[in-house]
Amino acid sequence: MEYVDLRSDTVTKPTSEMREAMAEAEVGDDVYRDDPTVNRLEELAAEMLGKEAALFVPSGTMGNLLALLVHCQRGEEVIVGNQSHIYLNEAGGMSALGGIQPCPVQNQSDGTLALDDILASIRSEDVHHPITRLVCLENTQNICGGVPLTSAYTLQAGELAHRNNLFLHIDGARIFNSAVAQNVSVKELVEPADSVMFCLSKGLAAPIGSILVGTRRFITRARHMRKMLGGGMRQVGIVAAAGIISLEKMTKRLGQDHARAKKMADGLKQIKGLVVDAGSPYTNMVYLNLSGDVPVNAQQITEKLKDSGVLVDPENARRFRLVTHYWIDDEAVERTVSAFQKALN
């Protein structure tokens, strides 16, 4: 059976155009900076995000970790959202590998960190305190609903950070979704940030890879750290070739994923027993709950959906996140709505 896979946009397989480009990619040893395809991808990424330089990394987790390791010294502190990927889902890398301490701040329902909360979390100079060094934002904020952060908010957060001698890093795993949803340029969204990580391997459909951008000096140090972590890759233009198509073409079609998420949410709202979050979807993620009177749990519904050819990952016993992406077409949206209808009957 061909499944409709809504577990994440990370499940996207490369397109045939990507596979062809990968097969034909000109390559070299990227540790020597000899891979023309990687060099082209990095130049293109830096240009699109309006930063001096970029670094191709194997994963978003490594990109975020490199940013933390470059910005912070051991014993320093990072202000992060308590619902952020960096805090919850990156295996505690900052503490384990960098001796960096997270200072979690509550994510507001719109994905932001309240500016007053950031300010209140900055440590005063005191021999007892860690030194606050960095603020991290996530755009789009995944757990808060795939919600995009605005450039106006990011500007304020950046000004606050810089006024207090802190750096600003953006985990922009889905920053292109954010830009498309708000009809602004990615450059504008990340302008106040000292560093940004974004993923090629999610809605942009590349099989592997993320990009870290920042100043030339920052990227030089991140390149060194990447080698230290074993992330220096060799003829990786094979993979970067797909990433170039992600940037040149896939960034332009994300609106289709958002429209299909909306269509899916509209269909699911009609089904008794399902409560779609108010406002959802903001981008390519539909969040919904089972209503209190539904006698089965999300895991049981998940199994029934699988029998109908739809794959979902329940968030908890009553909650689902459904993610649209390149391989979810209009028919897949209809199949999803029908499968939920059947599972709840």
Ligand X SMILES: Cc1ncc(COP(=O)(O)O)c(C=O)c1O
- Residues binding ligand X (CB under 6 A): 10, 59-61, 85, 138, 142, 171, 173, 199, 201, 210
**Shortest Cβ distance from residue 191 to ligand X (Å)?**
20
Nearer to ligand X, 77 or 171 (CB): 171
Cβ atoms of residues 93 and 244 within 8 Å: no
Asked whether the beta carbons of 245 and 17 are under 8 A apart, the reply is yes
Instruction: Give whichever of 214 and 267 is closer to ligand X, judged by the CB atom.
Output: 214
Could you give the CA distance from residue 172 to residue 151 in angstroms, rounded to a whole number? 13
Spatial separation of the C-alpha atoms in residues 297 and 344, rounded to whole Å: 11
Nearest-approach distance from CB 189 to ligand X, in angstroms? 15
d(CA 247, CA 1): 31
Residue 174: DSSP 8-state: T
Whichever of 88 and 184 has its CB closer to ligand X, that residue is 88
Give the CB-nearest residue to ligand X: 60
Smallest separation (angstroms) from ligand X to the CB of 111? 11
Contact 64, 97 (CB under 8 A): no
- Which single residue is written with the structure tokens 């330089």? 53
Q: Which is nearer to ligand X, 320 or 340 (CB)?
A: 320
Contact 123, 132 (CB under 8 A): yes
| CB of 247 vs ligand X, minimal distance in Å | 16
**Cα–Cα distance measured from residue 31 to residue 39, given in angstroms and rounded to the nearest whole number:** 11
Residue 204 structure tokens: 């942009």
> Could you tell me the smallest distance in angstroms from the CB atom of residue 152 to ligand X?
21
- Shortest distance, CB of residue 85 to ligand X, whole angstroms? 4
Strands 131-138 and 167-171: parallel
The secondary structure of the chain in percent helix, strand, coil, rounded to multiples of 5, reads 45, 20, 35
Toward ligand X, which CB reaches closer, 66 or 271?
66
Beta-bridged to residue 147, according to DSSP, are: 141
And the tokens for 100? 């960096």
Strand segments, DSSP code E, in 75-224 are 76-81, 101-105, 131-138, 167-171, 195-199, 210-214
Residue closer to ligand X, measured from CB, 138 or 257:
138
Q: Which residue, 173 or 290, has its beta carbon nearer to ligand X?
A: 173
The smaller minimum CB distance to ligand X, of residues 193 and 199, is found at 199
Calpha distance 15→60 (Å, rounded): 21
Give the nearest distance from C-beta 124 to ligand X in angstroms. Answer: 31
Residue 90 to residue 150: CA distance in whole angstroms: 25
Q: Which residue has the tokens 């005191």?
A: 126
Other beta carbons within 10 angstroms of residue 334's beta carbon come to: 14
User: What is the smallest separation between the CB atom of 138 and ligand X, expressed in angstroms?
Assistant: 5
